[in-house]
Amino acid sequence: MKLSITAHLDYQFEAQADVLLQLEAAEIPEQVVEHSNLAIGEHAHFARVPGQDMIGTRIWTSISGRLTIDYSAVVMINRIVDEGLDLAAVPLHMLPGETVQYLMGSRYCPSDRFHDFVTDQFGALSGGERVIAMRDWIHEHFNYVPGASNADTTAVDTFVSRRGVCRDFAHVLICLARASGIPARIASVYALGVDPQDFHAVAEVFLGGEWHLVDATRMAREGAMAKIGIGRDAADVAFMTAYEPAYLIAQEVTVTHLG
Amino acid sequence: MKLSITAHLDYQFEAQADVLLQLEAAEIPEQVVEHSNLAIGEHAHFARVPGQDMIGTRIWTSISGRLTIDYSAVVMINRIVDEGLDLAAVPLHMLPGETVQYLMGSRYCPSDRFHDFVTDQFGALSGGERVIAMRDWIHEHFNYVPGASNADTTAVDTFVSRRGVCRDFAHVLICLARASGIPARIASVYALGVDPQDFHAVAEVFLGGEWHLVDATRMAREGAMAKIGIGRDAADVAFMTAYEPAYLIAQEVTVTHLG
Amino acid sequence: MKLSITAHLDYQFEAQADVLLQLEAAEIPEQVVEHSNLAIGEHAHFARVPGQDMIGTRIWTSISGRLTIDYSAVVMINRIVDEGLDLAAVPLHMLPGETVQYLMGSRYCPSDRFHDFVTDQFGALSGGERVIAMRDWIHEHFNYVPGASNADTTAVDTFVSRRGVCRDFAHVLICLARASGIPARIASVYALGVDPQDFHAVAEVFLGGEWHLVDATRMAREGAMAKIGIGRDAADVAFMTAYEPAYLIAQEVTVTHLG
Amino acid sequence: MKLSITAHLDYQFEAQADVLLQLEAAEIPEQVVEHSNLAIGEHAHFARVPGQDMIGTRIWTSISGRLTIDYSAVVMINRIVDEGLDLAAVPLHMLPGETVQYLMGSRYCPSDRFHDFVTDQFGALSGGERVIAMRDWIHEHFNYVPGASNADTTAVDTFVSRRGVCRDFAHVLICLARASGIPARIASVYALGVDPQDFHAVAEVFLGGEWHLVDATRMAREGAMAKIGIGRDAADVAFMTAYEPAYLIAQEVTVTHLG
């Protein structure tokens, strides 16, 4: 599937500010960036650095005042899709070294606290079946409520309040997977079918020796997402991390199917 | 400085268990492991995988019942020591890609919440001076109280309670550094002068283009520590992560100065 | 039912300390204290003050060094028992003024965060049926684990960890009731059938115009408990609140059925 | 000092809703309500119940759709003002029974966690001097930032973030006082000098055998506030507690000095 992507960001800063951006589709085997263009307004500095685990790219920029960004890309998704996740979990002691960090608790995913819950609720299932059951349990019991969360909201808060947006749904699923001994991380993506269309975030779980995207909001499908970057949780994959106060002027994301 | 290290662990598990260990001194340029020996009791599986950022080694093992480990090593510390930390902070937009993750909040270090505090308290200082001031502020205002914290205790909890052990002191310092725009991570170490002697944890900050160990408990000195591993916080560098309930039978760590 | 109660406390303090005690069976219409005796070791001050909502008695004492207390009582329980709780909830706008505070969140029971959960999980039920369903849900899904909680553990922590002791079970039930619009508070009690025997804590809900004791651990029965005091949560009903560090030397509680 | 007060509330509810109001100046010895008028739009139920500790009045109402309230009052403040708080703390063991609950942690004021901090920071001071020092410390180190907090924000959050509005400043002061062994509660008030004018909340501490209002934002003075109600923290003194979703249409508060 081929996706056409645009993102427009327009922010006003109070002062000279360093800004970290991560919004370009990653160049990785599972997707081919056929075309891309990034235009950034007046700036004092621009440098690309590798993203987490060398997946995708972060941009350090330094701006004074206005930040405007226009990004467009065409991305061919070649991901091998396994929506049913008919896959086995890798035994803990067989996990590759690079997956170990995704077993650990993180800023928004204190997964170490959910052990008894996942055993009680999903103990009869394992591997892909368990992940699917956890995804569906979240989808059934949690309400998608724009504005229900903020930059402090952890998966514990969401687990109690039963409300959130895409990042919160992803955080709960990541917790439940890690607490089940399945490495899990977050992926920021451009995805078809997200309503309202915006940057999207989903969980990615390590099953059968590979990473698989799983969307607990059920808005997006694994084969119709272009990956931007990955991380332990939303702290790692913000499209913009500003180190001075900023005000939103305009932001728009579009994702369309090129057939 | 040359250190002689021993560690003895003896744990009883209820059942067959996968266990993740990280307790060997890392083979890295700043320290030479002249000799090391690891003996582990009966086990069904043993595999070494690289530690976080390829520093040090984690061990996946699978055991049934008793876990006994005897480790000994002689390590020559060649670290260039700069106790005064007369070093400049690297501007945010100049930070190397691999340091970016250590600006982000983590499980025990929600550093994003401390921005106003560090500005109010340490705003007049920068770089190494600021780190030293933060280290000394923690040392002056926090009480070292064994048993004051547990596996759920975050730097926010410690910041309020003003009590903790080495990992808690390190967590607060990491938060204050990250909130100041200085990458900071945790290092697990064997260190001379820790009382009571045990595994030790300290902060490591990125200043002047390099990582520097800083101990907010002021028990250990940068030149007298053998690094085991590093991570975002204590979740990443536990000497043992057990995936089944375990009971401590015995544990002993010794670190002596070989001259 | 008539209960014979004894409590023996023996604590060592580091220094002169003010201590707040609340351990005598309350003299209230639903139970008759036929006999009681309180002996307290050497002390510099002793004063009784009314407990929360004038139920039961708190004791302010000031001691230097050792605190020893021996309490014994015989209490006839005349409580009208309605184990089935076949009772209607009082509509919010009809609630008496003195019950309003027990709708509000408290130290260990941030009940305002559970609204969506109770609607999702128990929305089809109301009044006593709902309380019974919530009690049984807790009993089924939570593990009674001595040592699983501490003085910081809130109902949110317990809701996630699914582990705790009597106060934690009570806290979760109180949250679920309040979030359902049913006033709920904690009661400290001496209860038959608690294993291991100790001070016990249960929830008390306002249904049908009266307060009813409900034990989510299912260890004790409404008709076999002698009430000591009530409060918003465990912060209000500790048997001992010490304002200086204290060390336990001995503590024993017995509750027997006199027929 | 005589104050003229008006409050206008206009809210739209999605459905039939029970609403708890607390916005009338309390009739208590320290202030004389010379005139008051409350007009409430169409409603299905209206009942006054006593406020916390019998101070002030809560109103239970039931409405369908629109809630409009117009309140006006003239209140003569006769409070004996002691801005310097040259008063001694009452020793813990001499505290009256009705003040004991205000030593305990509450929903937004987990004061039990601040013991070491207050000892470290304010240990040399006691009584009114200590309260004044704590008030001034908050005023100096915390930023008044509208929108910085929400219904979940506790004094721990504010203590870390150093940001908040009146209720947050009051919550921190209440924590520090309780942790110092001084009973402290919140008071909702109409106050001269609040900018922007709105309902206001301040701390009230028990010193010298009486309750004294203390405003850590330093916007209002003890002698220029009309008390509405008191409670353990903001959970108890909301001017409106809605049990169904509601949308603000308009809200205005005025407080003027009649000379």
10-residue stretch averages of pLDDT, chain C, 259 residues long? 97 94 97 96 93 97 94 95 84 96 98 96 96 97 95 97 98 98 98 93 96 95 95 97 92 93
pLDDT of B259 reads: 72
D178 vs D181: CA distance, rounded Å: 5
Supply the mean pLDDT for chain C.
95
Domain positions in chain D are 2-78+239-257, 92-236
- What are the tokens at D196? 């922007």
pLDDT of C85 reads: 77
pLDDT of B146 reads: 93
- What are the tokens at C20? 């707040």
Neighbours of chain D (3+ CB pairs under 8 A): A, B, C
Q: Does A140 touch chain D (CB under 8 A)?
A: no
For the segment B57-106, what is each residue's pLDDT rounded down to a tens digit? Answer: 999 999 988 999 999 999 999 998 876 778 999 999 999 999 999 999 99
CA distance C23 to chain B (A): 28
B183 vs B177: CA distance, rounded Å: 7
Which segments in chain A show pLDDT lower than 50? Answer: none
Q: Does A150 touch chain D (CB under 8 A)?
A: yes
Quote the Cα angle for D68-D74-D80, to 5°. Answer: 125
Distances (CA, A) of D241 to D21, D58, D61, D234: 6, 10, 11, 11
D119 vs D122: CA distance, rounded Å: 6
Q: Which residues of A113-146 are buried (b: 16+ CB within 10 A; e: fewer)?
A: bbbbbbeebbeeeebbbbbbebbebbbeebebee
Q: Taking CB atoms and an 8 Å limit, are C141 and A120 in contact across chains?
A: yes
Q: Taking CB atoms and an 8 Å limit, are B101 and A45 in contact across chains?
A: no
**C256 pairs with which residues across the strands?**
C4
Q: Does C159 touch chain A (CB under 8 A)?
A: yes
- What are the tokens at D102? 């205000």
> Is the distance from CB of A25 to CB of A91 less than 8 angstroms?
no
**A144 pairs with which residues across the strands?**
A164
Of the candidates A104, A110, A236, the beta carbon closest to that of B236 is on: A104
Chosen from A109, A113, A116 to mutate, greatest number of chain C CBs within 10 A? A116
The alpha helices in C42-182, defined as continuous H runs, are 115-122, 127-141, 155-161, 166-179
Q: Does D150 touch chain A (CB under 8 A)?
A: yes
Helix (H, G, I), strand (E, B) or coil at C19: strand
- What are the tokens at D7? 């409050």
Q: Taking CB atoms and an 8 Å limit, are A91 and B50 in contact across chains?
A: no
Q: With contacts defined as CB-CB under 8 Å, which chain D residues touch C60?
A: 92-95
Q: Taking CB atoms and an 8 Å limit, are C143 and A116 in contact across chains?
A: yes
Phi-psi region of A18 (alpha: psi -120 to 50; beta: other; left: phi over 0): beta
pLDDT of D12 reads: 96
Q: Taking CB atoms and an 8 Å limit, are B162 and D113 in contact across chains?
A: no
What are the two backbone dihedrals, phi and then psi, of residue A147, each rounded to the nearest 5 degrees? 90, -5
Supply the mean pLDDT for chain B.
95
Pairing of the two strands C163-164 and C143-144? parallel
pLDDT of D227 reads: 98
D199, with CB counted inside 10 A (0-12, 13-18, 19+), is buried
Neighbours of chain B (3+ CB pairs under 8 A): A, C, D
Q: With contacts defined as CB-CB under 8 Å, which chain A residues touch C163?
A: 116
Dihedral sign from CA coordinates of D170, D171, D177, D178: positive
What are the two backbone dihedrals, phi and then psi, of residue A90, each rounded to the nearest 5 degrees? -75, 130
C23 vs D78: CA distance, rounded Å: 41
Same fold, C2-78+239-257 and C92-236: no
**Would you say the pTM of this structure is higher than 0.90?**
yes
Q: Which residue has the tokens 């009784």?
A: C48
Q: Taking CB atoms and an 8 Å limit, are C116 and A159 in contact across chains?
A: no
Quote the Cα angle for D177-D182-D188, to 5°. Answer: 65
Q: Taking CB atoms and an 8 Å limit, are B116 and D156 in contact across chains?
A: no
What are the two backbone dihedrals, phi and then psi, of residue B238, each rounded to the nearest 5 degrees? -55, 140
Helix (H, G, I), strand (E, B) or coil at B168: helix
For the segment A116-170, what is each residue's pLDDT rounded down to a tens digit? Answer: 999 999 999 999 999 999 999 999 999 999 999 999 999 999 999 999 999 999 9
pLDDT of A69 reads: 97
Give the residue from chain D lying closest to C58, CA to CA. Answer: D97
Please write down the long-range contacts of A44-49, taking CB distance under 8 Å and 24 or more positions apart.
Answer: A44/A16, A45/B93, A47/B93, A47/B94, A49/B95, A49/B96, A49/B97, A49/B100
Q: Does B153 touch chain A (CB under 8 A)?
A: no
Q: Does B163 touch chain D (CB under 8 A)?
A: yes
Of the candidates D93, D107, D112, the beta carbon closest to that of C47 is on: D93
Chosen from C145, C150, C152 to mutate, greatest number of chain B CBs within 10 A? C152
CA distance B199 to chain D (A): 26
Helix (H, G, I), strand (E, B) or coil at C89: coil
> Is the distance from CB of A57 to CB of A22 less than 8 angstroms?
yes
pLDDT at B14 over 80: yes
> Is the distance from CB of A202 to CB of A77 less than 8 angstroms?
no
Distances (CA, A) of D98 to B26, D53, D101, D109, D204: 61, 8, 7, 18, 14
> Is the distance from CB of B220 to CB of B194 less than 8 angstroms?
yes
Integer Rg of chain A from CA: 18
- What are the tokens at A48? 């690309």
Q: Taking CB atoms and an 8 Å limit, are A18 and B60 in contact across chains?
A: no
Q: Looking at the domain that runs over D2-78+239-257, which CATH code has it been given?
A: 2.60.40.2250
Q: Does D181 touch chain C (CB under 8 A)?
A: yes
Chosen from A143, A149, A150, A152 to mutate, greatest number of chain D CBs within 10 A? A152
pLDDT of C78 reads: 93
Quote the Cα angle for D2-D7-D13, to 5°. Answer: 160
Q: Which CATH class is domain A92-236?
A: alpha beta
- A126 Cβ neighbours under 8 A, 6+ residues apart: A88, A89, A180
- What are the tokens at C158? 């317990």
Supply the mean pLDDT for chain D.
95
Q: With contacts defined as CB-CB under 8 Å, which chain B residues touch D161?
A: 113, 116-117
B155, with CB counted inside 10 A (0-12, 13-18, 19+), is buried
Q: With contacts defined as CB-CB under 8 Å, which chain A residues touch C156?
A: 156, 160
Q: Which residues of D38-61 are buried (b: 16+ CB within 10 A; e: fewer)?
A: bebeebeeeeebebbbebbbbbbb
ipTM over 0.85: yes
* Confidence band of D156 (pLDDT split at 50, 70, 90): very high
What's the DSSP call for residue C245? Answer: -
* Confidence band of D129 (pLDDT split at 50, 70, 90): very high
Map chain D to HEC letters: CEEEEEEEEEEEEEEEEEEEECCCCCCECCEEEEEEEEEECCCCEEEEEECHHHCCEEEEEEEEEEEEEEEEEEEEECCCCCCCCCCCCCCHHHCCHHHHHHHCCCCCCCHHHCHHHHHHHHCCCCHHHHHHHHHHHHHHHCEECCCCCCCCCCHHHHHHHCEECHHHHHHHHHHHHHHCCCCEEEEEEEECCCCCCCCEEEEEEEECCEEEEECCCCCCCHHHEEEEEEECCHHHCCCEEECCCEEEEEEEEEEEECC
pLDDT of C80 reads: 81
Of the candidates D101, D107, D243, the beta carbon closest to that of C105 is on: D107
Q: Taking CB atoms and an 8 Å limit, are A49 and B104 in contact across chains?
A: no
Kind and range of the H or E run holding A144: strand A143-144
pLDDT at B131 over 80: yes
Q: Taking CB atoms and an 8 Å limit, are D105 and C107 in contact across chains?
A: yes
Q: With contacts defined as CB-CB under 8 Å, which chain D residues touch B116?
A: 143, 161-163
> Is the distance from CB of B133 to CB of B182 less than 8 angstroms?
no
Dihedral sign from CA coordinates of B120, B126, B127, B130: negative
Please write down the long-range contacts of D134-141, taking CB distance under 8 Å and 24 or more positions apart.
Answer: D134/D173, D134/D176, D134/D177, D134/D180, D134/D216, D135/D173, D135/D203, D135/D214, D135/D215, D135/D216, D135/D218, D138/D169, D138/D172, D138/D173, D138/D176, D138/D216, D139/D169, D139/D216, D139/D217, D139/D218, D141/B120
B208 vs B223: CA distance, rounded Å: 18
Q: Does A117 touch chain C (CB under 8 A)?
A: yes
Q: Which residue has the tokens 């005139």?
A: D35
Single out the residue of A72, A49, A57, A53 nearest to residue A26, CA to CA. Answer: A57
Q: With contacts defined as CB-CB under 8 Å, which chain C residues touch D101?
A: 52, 231, 236
> Is the distance from CB of D242 to CB of D19 less than 8 angstroms?
yes
Chosen from D145, D150, D152 to mutate, greatest number of chain A CBs within 10 A? D152
Q: Which residues of B213-227 are buried (b: 16+ CB within 10 A; e: fewer)?
A: bbbbbebbebebbbb
Helix (H, G, I), strand (E, B) or coil at B101: helix
Does residue D110 have a cis bond before it (omega within 30 degrees)? no
pLDDT of C230 reads: 98
For the segment D194-248, what is each residue's pLDDT rounded down to a tens digit? Answer: 988 999 999 999 999 999 999 999 999 999 999 999 999 999 999 999 988 899 9
Q: Taking CB atoms and an 8 Å limit, are A161 and C116 in contact across chains?
A: yes
Q: Taking CB atoms and an 8 Å limit, are D18 and C93 in contact across chains?
A: yes
What's the DSSP call for residue C181? Answer: T
Of the candidates A20, A58, A100, the beta carbon closest to that of B49 is on: A100
What are the two backbone dihedrals, phi and then psi, of residue C168, each rounded to the nearest 5 degrees? -70, -40
Neighbours of chain C (3+ CB pairs under 8 A): A, B, D
Q: Taking CB atoms and an 8 Å limit, are C20 and D104 in contact across chains?
A: no
D26 vs D52: CA distance, rounded Å: 11
* Confidence band of D84 (pLDDT split at 50, 70, 90): confident
Dihedral sign from CA coordinates of B52, B55, B56, B57: positive
Helix (H, G, I), strand (E, B) or coil at B86: coil
